[in-house]
Amino acid sequence: MFENYEKAGKIASRLRKEASKKAVAGTKVVDLIDYIEGEILATGAGIAFPFNVSINNMAAHYTSAPGDDTLLCNGDLVKLDLGAEVDGYIADTAVSIIVEGENKDIVDENGKKLKQPGRLDDGNPEVTTEELELSQDLIEASSAGLEAAISLIKPGITLGEVGTVIEKTINDKGYKPIANLTGHSLEQWELHAGLSVPNIADKNDHVLKEGDHLAIEPFATNGVGLVKDVPQHYIYKYLRNVPLRQPQSKKLLKRIATKHTYLPFARRWFLDQYNEHELNRNLRPLITSRAIYPYNALQEKSGCRIAQTEHTIIIESDGCFVTTR
């Protein structure tokens, strides 16, 4: 078991580093995602959840939908959050980067201009020095929060104490953690296995013990420190089998129940069998009948930028081992 955690951790860590190098201005988000997910599979490991590439004020649960033509833009603050599993043992890790390189106006084969959210946020094609400094500060604050938590964690520490050190570290840098996003425990084939690891001072007195397997993920912002759901969803989880009238939806649910029984999946992963329109039509009854759960994408409530840093750890007798270092 430990070996599999470690193996998954090494794969996730290597690809997180590779993704940060590849995330340059002009890169199509879906190309980066397809490449990294392909590399995870090429190692023989599984994809623990769709590769999340959340830009600027998007916090999490964003991955490309079919037909996504978003481009990374110079100055974008991008959260690269990915996961690998080996025999169901999961490594979940994230880093935030500032996109560098020359912005280009890129048009598709029909002459349509491709989206560049960094520019569209405020309508300004150039990122300012202040914006760059802010993004860098947010990255440092979330990363310092994570390191403070890792230094503290050992058997006997409570989850509340972990949240307290994360909040204090981020506050000391002049920013706020996101109060309604947390880290989580992990179990075999279970990405969110019951425990929440708070990013704020919290009364949670659950005591950590040797062998616990956790993902710690502080988010830092200059905004109000909360995220809200946006209506769009890109990532889903199988819940249960339900009777369905439409044969095509039935067939889709069968595939999901077989191939994605335990771990989250993206709509993109079904384009081998359906076009975008068919897929959305067949997926809708699965959501309304609660056969699958849609994760709405999450955005900072006041529209401000967010940075995230995440590692997966295993608690040892005298501290913790970071599997995704």
85 is an interface residue for Mn ion by CB under 5 A: no
DSSP string covering 88-122: TEEEEEEEEEE--S-----B-TTSPBPP-HHHHTT
Amino acid at 110: N
Q: Residue 92 catalytic?
A: yes
Backbone torsions φ then ψ of 292, nearest 5 degrees: -130, 155
Q: Residue 217 catalytic?
A: yes
92 is an interface residue for Mn ion by CB under 5 A: yes
Cα separation, 161 vs 16, in Å, equals 28
Binding mask 292-321 for Mn ion (x = CB under 5 A): ------------------x-----------
Backbone torsions φ then ψ of 301, nearest 5 degrees: -60, -35
Q: Residue 260 catalytic?
A: no
Q: Which is nearer to Mn ion, 95 or 292 (CB)?
A: 95
215 is an interface residue for Mn ion by CB under 5 A: yes
Cα separation, 189 vs 46, in Å, equals 11
DSSP string covering 231-289: EEEEEEEE------S-HHHHHHHHHHHHHSSSS-EEGGGGTTT--HHHHHHHHHHHHHT
Are the C-beta atoms of residues 70 and 117 closer than 8 Å to each other? yes
81 is an interface residue for Mn ion by CB under 5 A: yes
Catalytic residue (choose from 161, 212, 310, 311): 310
* Residue 161, helix vs strand vs coil: helix
Q: Residue 133 catalytic?
A: no
Q: Among the candidate windows 38-46, 86-94, 123-131, 228-236, which touches Mn ion by CB under 5 A?
A: 86-94
Q: Give the interface size with Mn ion as a residue count (CB under 5 A).
A: 5
Q: Which is nearer to Mn ion, 166 or 283 (CB)?
A: 166
Q: Among the candidate windows 68-76, 90-98, 123-131, 137-145, which touches Mn ion by CB under 5 A?
A: 90-98
CB of 88: closest distance to Mn ion in angstroms? 16
Residues in contact with Mn ion by CB under 5 A are 81, 92, 94, 215, 310
* Catalytic residue ranges: 81, 92, 184, 192, 217, 310
